[in-house]
Amino acid sequence: MIAIPSAGLRRLMLLECRGYLRGALRRLKTPKGATFALLGGLLLAVWLRSLFQSPDVIGVGEQAIAREGTGGLPEGDLVLRTLCLGVLVLVSISGVVTRGIHIPPERLERLLALPVSRSDFLRYRLWSVVARTMTGAPILAVLAMVRTNSSGAILLAVPLFLGLSSVLGFLASLLSAGMESSPAFVRVTDKLRSGGRFLLLMLLLLIPVVTAGRAAPELLPSWLVGTGASLMETFGQVDFPALIRLLSRPLDPFLALAQGSGAASLFKNGSLCILIVLAVLELAARVPVDFREMAIEGAKSSAKRIRSAGSVGRAASGGRARVGLFGVPHLFGRGPMGAVAWRKLSGIWRKARGFLGISLFLGCFLLFGVRLIFGGDLFRVAQAGQSIEDVTYLNDIGSAVLALLGTLYLTNGLRFDFREDLVQLDILKSWPLQPWKMFLGSLLPQTMAISLVVSALLLTWLLISEATGLFILLLVLALPAVVFAWVAVDNIAFLIWPVRFVPGQAGQLQHIGRGLLLTFARMTLFLVSFGLAACFGALAWLALIRVESLGPEGLITSVALVVLGVLLAVDCGLAMVGGMAFARYDPARDRV
Amino acid sequence: MSESDPEEPVLVVTDLRREYADKVAVAGLSFDVKPGEILGLVGPNGAGKTTTLRSIAGILPVQQGSISVAGFSVTEDGHRARYHLAWIPDDPKPFDSLTVWEHLDLVAGLFDVPEWKSRATELLDFFSLGDKRDALGGELSRGMCQKLALAMAWLPRPKLVLMDEPLSGLDPRGIRTARRAIQEIAASGTAVILSSHLLELVQQLADRLLIIDEGRKAFEGTLEEAHAGFQIPENSSLEDVFFAVTEKPKGAEPEA
């Protein structure tokens, strides 16, 4: 049958659906599951309430026509078209990035061995994807109805559009996977990759030149300024509303359904939309791509992501290791703790070189942004005649912003910590060293790598700005202690309460509730750690402010040293607590 | 403890008990293992074998009872006790960012092994991993991972090796190599606890048997003692003994 899976696969879908509901009910019956579900439900309710109560409403349909020309709100139809196109672009990009079909590994081989045709199997998968998308559709549909002041027809339009977008995402995923396995495509991408590397290198060279050029504009070649200006001018002349209308023409039936009123419009546009969704679904089912190998590969990578706590899969530690030309030096000595740290350093060196390269590239952008905002040029223009100290003050804020953003980005991106080792924690626990040494040794290399990259950014900032050298020096000195505290708190929370979740896994509501509690616990630990250092710093300030012989710089240095000392003490405490958390971690209780 | 006293046990487990929320995994288990001895640990699924081994290796905290390895308490002096033992899990996953050689380098660092390089080369040759020296952990097949785990366990010459299903995933050649390795490890004076469902292999290798069922010791002794104790024919295999022990009425003890 066109667009509908065969009877056996329909039965399987029904049983899967029943199993999912049974599992959800079973989880609700346990005290822990019910508590987390309640918390998650509360959080969702608060979020939805805030969305519904938000005052800005986009008018569509007849109301939009009445609103046009008032200048208060953008044209509703155009906003809807832009949103729909945005969703389709995002879904397609996500499909291209994920590539192939993702089925849990425990079910994959049994499913692939079923006596059904390839297109029938794809229909089954497509309907499963559509059904999963539909679970969130009612909330989104009601939200869309309230936010757009539209008629009830949007309640049908939103689920149909979401169904279409999920099918298109699946199609993009299949096509990209099919292309990837074609030898011609591999040849072209290899060439593009080398071209991309060259372009990246050029950009890396260009950014410092441009950044330096801002400090001394006479160094900037005039053609560069001219090219930028003319590009901006051309960009400004594009008629974007017309372009968006043109690109979204295929979505007209969905938009007409969303904006129309009356039974005739509902019937005509609704039928047309259903036909479009079914047609695209059937088209996707007939794409001549052999997905079996990709599905097996996809299942392996999903399983790896589930095993390694989900988030790691997207961080540099979840990447593939490559042996370089040189061995990794034993930077931390050859004892047991040195060996632990060396293993982690090897991971960073072999998996995160690309990430660190991109980080430096992004760091140049960050420097550029900070230079624009905190560079002082705008300030000077606005308040001519201001003294250099004012600009220095702005530059110092820039230093702190640079350190904060760099640290946040790298701590989330690297993650060479206990999350990475989740499946090997039993082996790690059998190693002959004290737990606090294991904790410290495991987190030191990541702390060092992050501190080095952020310090490099700060030193570059010092060269191109008028920031206080002493302030940057203190920041660089404090960085390792702060980064360690940050990473340690995160890992302590993880070892005490290892949460593992990836999209598509059962128990979403419980996960939201558990995530809320965990975030609260982490923030409390962070606040206690950094608050303690701040309190001691304030006490030192109050005690030393009367000592005139110190001078302003001496005072700042003394207070900073006290804060640094307290931070180091906090780090030692965290290493001990982390060691205890590692020692009490029970791999036997480890369940996904 | 003295280095070469063959009568003094390397491992002493006394009244070990481990409970989870819904079940008792190990219920008051006591046994010991002497240097150079191979103890075959067998039992049905869920009998508490892996929990026992993990408790000895310091992976699971000891809830009740005591364990000492080479004279050091696993509870009070855990890292010193772990210095004398090696743990091989049933599915040893190597680190994907280290090469085979670097895995041995890591072990040498962890256990402070002097002059490790020549010994590491010998071990790689013994386990036919010489040509995989520079391969990353993530590139190894399951059998190679098992062999690498055995090489890593043997490198620091520990006093006790704990093996949980060490032969799963190995091909016939690999099984023969691993069997030889286990025998040589024991011959060098290291005590071995071998947990496996391959009863024929356990029968061939083990000097003594520990059969556990539902967390309790069902039998401890040699195969001959089992024949006599459970009144089964003398030429019966370990498989016959296993069924005789685990299917006997609860509470029945072998005759002295």
Calpha distance A206→A212 (Å, rounded): 10
pLDDT at A441: 96
Q: Which residue has the higher pLDDT, A342 or A24?
A: A342
pLDDT at A66: 44
| The token pair that represents A568 in the structure block | 């180091």
Average pLDDT over residues A410-417: 85
Average pLDDT over residues A505-522: 68
Could you tell me if A423 lies within 8 Å of chain B, comparing CB atoms? Answer: yes
SS3 state of residue B208: strand
Query: Over 50: is that where the pLDDT of A76 sits?
Result: yes
SS3 state of residue B221: strand
Specify the range with the lowest mean pLDDT, choosing from A292-296, A409-413, B109-113: A292-296
To the nearest 5 percent, what fractions of chain B are helix, strand and coil? 35, 25, 40
Average pLDDT over residues A69-86: 68
pLDDT at A293: 66
Nearest CA-CA partner of A367 in A458, A486, A488 = A458
Cα A466 from chain centroid (whole Å): 33
Calpha distance A356→B109 (Å, rounded): 27
Could you tell me if A586 lies within 8 Å of chain B, comparing CB atoms? Answer: yes
Determine what percent of chain A is predicted with pLDDT higher than 90.
16
| The token pair that represents A463 in the structure block | 């060269």
Q: Which of A351-360, A453-462, B104-113, B247-256 has the highest mean pLDDT?
A: B104-113
The number of CA neighbours under 13 Å toward the Cβ of A460 is 22
* CB-closest option in A320, A423, A432 to B93: A423
Query: Over 70: is that where the pLDDT of A346 sits?
Result: yes
A356's CB contacts (< 8 A; 6+ apart) are A316, A348, A449, A453
Average pLDDT over residues A318-331: 75
**Angle between helices A336-351 and A353-374 in degrees, nearest 10:** 80
Average pLDDT over residues A548-558: 82
* CB-closest option in A335, A426, A584 to B89: A426
Per-residue model confidence as pLDDT tens digits over A20-44:
888 888 878 888 778 878 887 888 7
Contact B182, B163 (CB under 8 A): yes
Predicted-complex ipTM score: 0.88
Query: Over 60: is that where the pLDDT of A348 sits?
Result: yes
Mean pLDDT of chain A: 78
Nearest CA-CA partner of A236 in A245, A248, A226, A228 = A228
Q: How many CB atoms lie within 10 A of CB A320?
A: 11
Calpha distance B250→B229 (Å, rounded): 16
Give the pLDDT band of residue A579 (cuts 50, 70, 90). very high
Q: Which of A7-11, A134-138, A438-442, A537-541 has the highest mean pLDDT?
A: A438-442
List CB contacts (< 8 A) between A334 and chain B.
109
Could you tell me if B20 lies within 8 Å of chain A, comparing CB atoms? Answer: yes
Give the strand order in the sheet containing B64-69: B24-33, B11-19, B64-69, B72-73
Place of tokens 């099919």: A178
Calpha distance A76→B23 (Å, rounded): 61
Contact A541, A399 (CB under 8 A): no
Bridge partner list, B99? B136
Give the pLDDT band of residue A65 (cuts 50, 70, 90). very low
Q: Which of A52-56, A68-72, A554-558 has the highest mean pLDDT?
A: A554-558
Calpha distance A526→A485 (Å, rounded): 8
pLDDT at A303: 62
Give the pLDDT band of residue A500 (cuts 50, 70, 90). low
Contact A359, A367 (CB under 8 A): no
| The token pair that represents A38 in the structure block | 């309640």
Nearest CA-CA partner of A107 in A296, A349, A383, A322 = A296
Per-residue model confidence as pLDDT tens digits over B194-241:
999 989 989 999 999 999 998 999 999 998 888 888 888 888 888 888
pLDDT at B156: 94
Calpha distance A163→A281 (Å, rounded): 9
pLDDT at B1: 44
Could you tell me if A415 lies within 8 Å of chain B, comparing CB atoms? Answer: no
pLDDT at A302: 60
B146's CB contacts (< 8 A; 6+ apart) are B92, B166, B167, B168, B169, B170, B174, B178
Residues in chain B where the model's pLDDT stays below 70: 1-6, 248-256
Specify the range with the lowest mean pLDDT, choosing from A121-135, A289-303, A427-441, A474-488: A289-303
Place of tokens 């302003």: A552
Contact assignment for A424 to B95 by CB distance below 8 Å: yes
Average pLDDT over residues A246-250: 89
Contact B122, B157 (CB under 8 A): no
List CB contacts (< 8 A) between B92 and chain A.
427
pLDDT at A358: 80
Contact A454, A479 (CB under 8 A): yes
Determine what percent of chain A is predicted with pLDDT higher than 70.
74
Q: What are the φ and ψ backbone dihedral angles of B155, each rounded to 5 degrees? A: -55, -50
Contact assignment for B59 to A430 by CB distance below 8 Å: yes
Please provide the DSSP assignment of A229-260 as one string. HHHHHHHHHS-HHHHHHHHTGGGHHHHHHHH-
A142's CB contacts (< 8 A; 6+ apart) are A155
Contact assignment for B59 to A338 by CB distance below 8 Å: no
Cα B163 from chain centroid (whole Å): 3
Contact assignment for A427 to B85 by CB distance below 8 Å: no
SS3 state of residue B217: strand
